[in-house]
Amino acid sequence: MMEVLLNKLYEQNELTQEDIVYFLEHLTPEYQKRLFDLAVETRKKFYNKSVFMRGLIEFSNYCKQDCLYCGLRRSNPHVERYRLSESDILDCAEEGYNLGYRSFVLQSGEDFRFTEELMISIVTSIKSRFPDAAITLSIGERSEAFYRALYDAGTDRYLLRHETASRSLYESLHPGMSFDHRISCLHVLKDIGYQVGAGFMVGLPGQTHNHLAEDLLFLKELHPEMIGIGPFIPHSETPLKEAVGGTVQDTLVMIAMARLLVPDALMPATTAMGTLDPTGREKALRAGANVVMPNLSPPKVREKYALYENKICTGDEASHCRTCLEMRIIASGYEIELSRGDHCRVISPK
């Protein structure tokens, strides 16, 4: 049976919910190795050996949401909150540009001080100074009008992880938030024309194989351009401090399966993987991931952007991250790609 399922994954990029659960229950180390190898083969069909670099700028850690897992939740009084100014953000982008990056991700908590007007101004400034760079926003749920205005201002991509495709699990982790609204944001972003990123955490409390199968099938159906999958890491100042959290191994299996079910996706080897295991990101690349996101935030604020604890790269200069990641990519047998790194279906970027 496992042979049949592996074959179906590789040849047809398809499995049913029952098949996925069966596969996860019967996965031996040998099948796991074959799964990873097939994921790597598949990624090569679309992106060869390239690993895309995206400079990450964490510009505000204020958040109006209260997600149970997140260290930046509004109920955590121990976070020293910060906001970068527009000119700080531009300086980060410039530093990244000088290091060769042509793709920037601007990420923050859900901070409504960054109004539509201010965000338009930031995106317009970066685009006018660096017209050959792609901009990705990762700033949470906003109105359709906001998403349209930012797209018209030149934003290329938007990351909004669905976090979990199970309505009941979603609702238990996100007080005051609506599962339907989150999913509808993803559809709106897609309809507007953004390259969209979705994704989920592995090892959430109460998460079963059935839930994970739902996550994978949700991704297959949405067919986002980007997929971020990382282990949940409990944070000691959140209600989930006693939770067990996700493992590198389980996350690798999800990365490989997502690669096979959505073969053309751009998938990061996440910082959370590097945090749990010093070679976690390399392992992710060898399980089908093909993006890395070096930190470009100013060193003085990096420690304050703690979604979870012991996050790596918090003390490093931008240039240090670049060299470190390049070594890791090359040592894993891949090639560094500094271009915008559009999805392979995008023929002529905006």
Q: Tell me if residue 50 falls in helix, strand or coil.
A: strand
**Nearer of residues 235 and 328 to ligand FES, judged by Cβ:** 235
Which of 69, 97, 130, 147 lies at the binding interface for ligand 5AD (CB under 6 A)?
A: 69
Which helix or strand (DSSP H or E) is residue 184 part of?
A: helix 179-192
**Nearer of residues 67 and 150 to ligand FES, judged by Cβ:** 67
* Nearest alpha carbon to residue 41 among 1, 269, 231, 33: 33
Q: Tell me if residue 155 falls in helix, strand or coil.
A: coil
Extended beta strands in 35-79, E state: 50-53, 55-60
- Give the number of residues in contact with ligand FES, rule: CB under 6 A: 7
Specify whether the CB–CB gap between 62 and 83 falls below 8 A.
yes
* Nearest alpha carbon to residue 161 among 26, 69, 50: 69
Which of 15, 67, 257, 276 lies at the binding interface for ligand FES (CB under 6 A)?
A: 67
230 binds ligand FES (CB under 6 A): no
Specify whether the CB–CB gap between 324 and 85 falls below 8 A.
no
233 binds ligand 5AD (CB under 6 A): yes
**Nearer of residues 63 and 293 to ligand FES, judged by Cβ:** 63
273 binds ligand 5AD (CB under 6 A): no
Determine phi and psi for 58, rounding to 5 degrees. Answer: -95, 95
259 binds ligand FES (CB under 6 A): no
Name the minimum Å distance from CB 349 to ligand FES.
28
Q: Which residues from 199-218 bind ligand 5AD, rule CB under 6 A? A: 201
Name the minimum Å distance from CB 109 to ligand FES.
5
261 binds ligand FES (CB under 6 A): no
Name the minimum Å distance from CB 83 to ligand 5AD.
17
**Do strands 157-159 and 195-202 pair parallel, antiparallel, or not at all (unpaired)?**
parallel
The tokens of 18 are what? 């029952």
Q: How far apart are CA 180 and CA 166, in angstroms?
A: 11
**Do strands 195-202 and 103-108 pair parallel, antiparallel, or not at all (unpaired)?**
unpaired
The tokens of 243 are what? 């939770």
Which of 21, 53, 72, 93 lies at the binding interface for ligand FES (CB under 6 A)?
A: 72
Q: Which range in 83-91, 189-197, 219-227, 229-237 contacts ligand 5AD by CB under 6 A?
A: 229-237
Name which of ligand 5AD, ligand FES, none residue 65 binds, using a CB cut-off of 5 to 8 Å depending on partner kind. ligand FES
291 binds ligand FES (CB under 6 A): no
Name the minimum Å distance from CB 288 to ligand FES.
25
Name which of ligand FES, ligand 5AD, none residue 109 binds, using a CB cut-off of 5 to 8 Å depending on partner kind. ligand FES
DSSP assignment of 201-269: EES-TT--HHHHHHHHHHHHHH--SEEEEEE----TTSTTTT-----HHHHHHHHHHHHHHSTT-B-B-
Q: What letter represents residue 88's amino acid?
A: D
Name the minimum Å distance from CB 73 to ligand 5AD.
9
Q: How far apart are CA 10 and CA 68, in angstroms?
A: 36
Determine phi and psi for 63, rounding to 5 degrees. Answer: -145, 130
161 binds ligand 5AD (CB under 6 A): yes
Cα-based torsion angle of the residue sequence 304, 308, 311, 315 in order, rounded to the nearest 10 degrees: 10
65 binds ligand FES (CB under 6 A): yes
111 binds ligand 5AD (CB under 6 A): no
Name the minimum Å distance from CB 71 to ligand 5AD.
6
Binding site for ligand 5AD (CB under 6 A): 69-70, 161, 163, 201, 230, 232-233, 235, 272, 307-308
Binding site for ligand FES (CB under 6 A): 63, 65, 67, 70, 72-73, 109
